Structure 1
Amino acid sequence: MRLLKDLFYLFYPKLCAACELKLVENETSICTSCRHDLPLTNFLNYNDNKVTQVFYGRVLIEKGYSLLFYRKKGITQKLIQDLKYKGNEEIGIFFGNWLGEILKENNEFTSVDYIVPVPLHPKKLKERGYNQVTKFGEKLSEHLKTPYIENYLIRISSSKTQTFKSRFERFSNNDTKFILKNPTYFNNKHILLIDDVITTGATIEACVKEFKKSKNCTISILTMAYTE
């Protein structure tokens, strides 16, 4: 079996999602060199950092964190775009494992009851075939020992792809709407809302407002990347 596996990778080697060079044994998705080049945020205060500050005066956030900085034409952008538009869900697994290990070690989200993804509109989900944060969320769930649940928060509006909008258009976009099924299910619960990238926070803000329909529901935010 090992011989067959080695022969397969000889002819179809796994490539680094960032630099596209051949991965060596024990490397997954991203080579060691590119991993060292990733722009880590290294936020030390989970209650007050650039992620939580996005929502000041808008909605109340308990904690917030992003693993990487997202910069135009940078390595993070390439990875996220490969995840979203090229079907490379291994990137979500990679980030889920990495961030899951960090959070498990520092015990920052031990009070979370559920991990919930920002959903795609059903039409977009059908076109793409997957939500780019599903694998990310599933791995976080494994590390944090916290249930990952979908299909409670529903996206009921479909808007132009955020990637191709200007920052002002994204901020001023009020077309994205969500509905929370069975709000009482989340009464007195702490929700960890996850997404791939946070820019203006408009989409996440709309999600948080839905969860606020639940009694005494606390929200924390976790994303793969934060746009500088």
Structure 2
Amino acid sequence: MNVLKRYLVDFSSLFFPRLCSSCRTDLTPQEHFLCISCLYNLPVTDFHLHEGNTIEKIFWGRVKVKAASAFLFFRQKGKVQHMMHQLKYHGNAELGVFLGKLYGQSLVSQEAYKNADLLIPVPLHPQKHKKRGYNQSEKIAEGLSSVLNIPVNNTILKRIKQIGSQVGKSRIDRVESLKECFLADCPEGKTDKVILIDDTITTGSTLEACVLALNNIGIENICILSLAYAE
């Protein structure tokens, strides 16, 4: 039976090749989403090991977060950018789950990310969600959840407004416009600590707006995790 299965996999790969989501080379049957070379050369930040790291500093003086981190460095035309494009624009939703699991494995011993009540992915506007078919941040959260044993909640925080490009706007202007985009509903039961999940952090304005929305319903103990950090 295993021989037949391997034959079918090899045969199907002739017509539907399995490619590395980073470098686009052919994957072996033992590889999943990333080839061995890309997997072991991921540009990890190790921010989670350092208090007062680069991501935490983004939010200093803006909103109060208990801890914040990002898994990978994002560079233009780099391998992480290729992966993010596969995740966000080419329907490779399960890549987000895979990368979330990888990230979760490095966080299991970190006290800051233990014992949270919920993982809350940054929501997409319903129209964008419908067009894409999934929320990439929710897929990342699913992967994290499977390792950290923290449930995912995609109903407390909602995106109620879509806005145009924020390029050229100051940070203050970005936050002011984004404040109108997110609405939080009071959760059922007691929720003391949550972890916000995003795909990529750049200026932090979107996450800042999400934190403020959660603060409005009394959730103050908030951590932030992102798959990538665009330097």
Q: Note the C-alpha offset of 1:214.
A: 3.1
- 2 CA distance for matches of 1:187 and 1:207? 19
* Alignment match, 1:175: 177
Partner Cα distance (2:13, 2:78) in 1: 28
Q: Do the aligned residues in 1 keep the contact of 2:157 with 2:184 (CA within 8 Å)? A: yes
Give 1:14's match in structure 2, choosing from 18, 21, 34.
18
Q: Matched residues in 2 for 1:224 and 1:34: separation?
A: 16
Q: Cα offset for 1:35?
A: 2.3
- Alignment RMSD: 2.0
**2-structure distance, mates of 1:159, 1:170:** 15
> Structure 2 length as normaliser, TM-score?
0.88
2:38 to 34, 54, 74: 34
Contact 2:48 2:68 in 1 (8 A): no
What is residue 67 of structure 1 aligned with on the other side? 71
**2:96 and 2:139 in contact (8 A); partners too:** yes
Structure 2 residue aligned with 1:209: 212
Deviation at 1:86, TM superposition (A): 1.1
Distance 1:188 1:160 in 2: 33
Distance 1:77 1:50 in 2: 20
Residues 102-111 or 54-63, more deviating: 102-111
Unmatched segments (≥5 aa) in structure 1: none
Match of 1:160, SS state, is: coil
SS of match in other structure, 1:215: coil
Q: Kindly tell me: are residues 9 and 78 of structure 1, through their superposed partners in 2, closer, same or farther at Cα, counting changes over 3 Å?
A: same
1:78 aligns with 2:82: yes
Q: For residues 82 and 96 of structure 1, do their structure 2 counterparts lie closer, same or farther at Cα, with a shift above 3 Å needed?
A: same
Distance (Å, rounded) in 1 between the aligned partners of 2:26 and 2:191: 48
Query: Which of 139, 143, 149 pairs up with 2:147?
Result: 143
| Residue of structure 2 equivalent to 1:197 | 200
The change in CA–CA distance for 1:216 and 1:19 in structure 2 (over 3 A counts) is closer
Are the aligned partners of 1:186 and 1:214 in contact in 2 as well (CA < 8 Å)? no
1:137 aligned counterpart, secondary structure: helix
Q: Which residue of 2 is the match for residue 226 of structure 1?
A: 229
Do the aligned partners of 2:115 and 2:150 also contact (CA within 8 Å) in 1?
A: no
TM-score normalised by structure 1 residue count: 0.89
What SS class does the counterpart of residue 23 from structure 1 fall into?
Answer: coil
Task: Quote the Cα distance in structure 2 between the aligned partners of 1:15 and 1:83.
Answer: 14
Q: Which stretch of the first structure deviates more once superposed, 215-224 or 39-48? A: 39-48
Asked if 1:87 is matched to 2:99, the reply is no
- What is the identity percentage for the equivalent residue pairs of Structure 1 and Structure 2? 37
* Counterpart-to-counterpart distance in 2, 1:170 and 1:196: 22
